[in-house]
Amino acid sequence: MTIEPSGAQIAAGRFKAVCLQLLDEVAQTRRPITVTKRGRPVAQLVPVAEPEPLFGALAGSIGRYDDLIAPIDEEWDAQP
């Protein structure tokens, strides 16, 4: 693997041999790796964005109303 200022590069043939190891490395270091074929970049292995926590994601989004029949905060004028 060749370390460049913009990240790491690896030839496609070598990538094929060590793919699973590189997946672990990218997940751990959070640095992308560019896959090259005949010296030209053809693909980039990048880390997945961290998922947002699910616990508390809906906090404050549910309202509670004691009287479900009455309109909320406004007068309604229903004409038959």
Q: Binning pLDDT at 50, 70 and 90, where does residue 54 land?
A: confident
The pLDDT value recorded for residue 71 is 61
Residue 22 lies in a domain: yes
The pLDDT value recorded for residue 3 is 40
How many domains does the chain divide into? 1
Residue 29 lies in a domain: yes
Contact 46, 25 (CB under 8 A): no
Provide the residue count of the chain. 80
Residue 71 lies in a domain: no
Average confidence (pLDDT) over 19-36: 94
Task: Report the distance separating Cα 44 and Cα 14, nearest Å.
Answer: 14
Q: Find the angle CA(38)-CA(39)-CA(40) to the nearest 5 degrees.
A: 95
Residue 72 lies in a domain: no
The pLDDT value recorded for residue 24 is 94
Residue 66 lies in a domain: no
